Amino acid sequence: MRGPFRTALAALVAVSCAGSSAISPAMATSRIKDLANIEGVRQNQLIGYGLVVGLNGTGDTLNNAPFTKQSLQAMLERLGVNIRGQQIRTGNVAAVMVTADLPPFATQGTRIDVTASAMGDSKSLEGGTLLVTPLLGADGNVYAVAQGSLSIGGFQAEGQAAKITRGVPTVGRLPNGAIIEREIEFALNSVGQLRLALRNADFTTAKRIAVAINDYIGAAVAEPLDPSTVQLTLPKKFPQNVVAMLTEIEQLQVEPDEVAKVVIDERSGVIVIGRDVRVSTVAVAQGNLTVTISESPQVSQPAPLSRGRTVAVPRTQVGVQEEGKRLALVQEGVSLQQIVDGLNALGIGPRDLIVILQAIKAAGAIQADIEVM
């Protein structure tokens, strides 16, 4: 596993470095639309509690899920059916939590997707229908109402001695299953100032965005407030038309800057090294210690007609071998490709490379942040 993984990693890094050297700095730019969000233009999360009916005996066990039983009784009472004190044994009903995201500037009557997740011991929501479920916002108001047939991505089949499950049959989606009933008011055109929120906070990137906007507008309308915020003031060129200004601004090209960082995922052995990572002169040695243990038990037989017992006598051989007794020198100020080439010269795998990078950081010889996931 280590050999192919190391070869693939080295090839990927080599291709990335070769491609980055061939691309000019002008082609490494990104749109402001991809670097920042407009403050106030955001989604809002909705949640609701409902019942799914029509299940083929795969619903909640009412004795084990009292909330499902109480919800079923309350729903039937609202419909004029009184079953208080009666025994209910149906297995075709399941209680679910319904979640959705309310898009920005969504208007009444438009539809959004929702997700229903089982709460009780339901085995599957396949074939079920979600009954009318109000979806609430963080302020407790109802912003949408969901209802419809569920679409399940998984399934479950079982017999008397075996069972098979694919995907998650207790979670389903309702494409366009909710209707928006309330709008979130946000008068964008009446705002005199707006703020751009950078997705990756950085002083240099914030300044470059402000400079690009000011150069395009021809006036000082953009000002970086902090590493993650750029404030915009509506200029006279776009009187009372913020949408027109944002349409022009979000297409401007800016070269983002980034902090030198090494990201390590110890669970999978994945290592991502940023392009600005630099190291001081350092020598690295790495050796693998291999311990081999072999068991060759022998049988000890007693003499004929003796009162002894046949026993197994253990025979163990232990061997120790140390490999990779090499020392590699990494020069000062080397690039990303030179770092990888120098460490690959030791013939090590990704997990050993993780330990080496952490040791170089502990020695103060690497100018980058190491983030362990």
The pLDDT of residue 280 is: 73
Contacts of 296 (CB under 8 A, 6+ apart): 315, 316, 317
User: Does residue 146 carry a pLDDT above 90?
Assistant: yes
Read off the pTM.
0.65
pLDDT of residue 90: 86
Residues 6+ apart with CB under 8 A from 75: 51, 131
Binned at pLDDT 50, 70 and 90, residue 150 comes out as very high
Cβ distance 176 to 230 under 8 Å? no
335-354 tens-digit pLDDT: 656 666 666 666 666 777 77
124-138, 188-202, 212-226, 295-309: range with lowest mean pLDDT: 295-309
pLDDT at 8: 35
Structure confidence at residue 267 as a pLDDT band (50, 70, 90): confident
**Binning pLDDT at 50, 70 and 90, where does residue 114 land?**
very high
Tell me, what's the pLDDT at 93?
94
Rounded to whole angstroms, the Cα distance separating 329 from 161 reads 62
Q: Which domains does the chain have, with CATH numbers?
A: 2-23+260-298+314-372 (no CATH), 30-40+187-254 (3.90.76.10), 44-180 (no CATH)
The DSSP-derived string for 131-151 is: EEEEEE-TTS-EEEEEEEE-E
Asked if the model's pLDDT at residue 73 lies above 80, the reply is yes
Decide: 215 and 252 in contact? Cβ < 8 Å. no
Provide the 3-class DSSP secondary structure of residue 308: coil
Give, in order, the Cα–Cα distances in Å from 318 to each of 98, 287, 290, 292, 293.
60, 19, 11, 6, 5
pLDDT confidence tier of residue 9, bands split at 50, 70 and 90:
very low
Q: Where are the alpha helices (DSSP H) in the chain?
A: 2-22, 32-35, 66-78, 203-217, 242-249, 336-344, 350-362
**% of the chain with per-residue pLDDT over 90:** 31
By mean pLDDT, which of 90-99, 159-168, 239-248, 290-299 is the weakest? 290-299
Q: Is 340 exposed, middle or buried (0-12, 13-18, 19+ CB in 10 A)?
A: buried
Q: What pLDDT is stored for residue 20 in this prediction?
A: 40
In this predicted structure, the answer to whether residue 272 has a pLDDT above a threshold of 90 is no
Is the pLDDT at 254 greater than 80? The verdict is yes
Please, are residues 67 and 119 in contact by the beta-carbon 8 Å criterion?
yes
Burial string for 81-107 (b: 16+ CB within 10 Å, else e) reads eeeeeeeeeeeebbbbebebebeeebe
SS3 209: helix
pLDDT(322) > 70: no
Supply the pLDDT for residue 239: 61
Q: According to the model, what pLDDT value does residue 345 have?
A: 67
Q: Beta strand pairing status for 36-38 and 193-198?
A: antiparallel
Q: Convert the pLDDT of each residue in 288-321 to its tens digit.
A: 545 455 657 777 777 776 676 777 777 766 665 5
Buried b (16+ CB within 10 A) or exposed e, 248-267: ebeebebebeeeeebebeee
- Please tell me the predicted confidence (pLDDT) of residue 285: 66
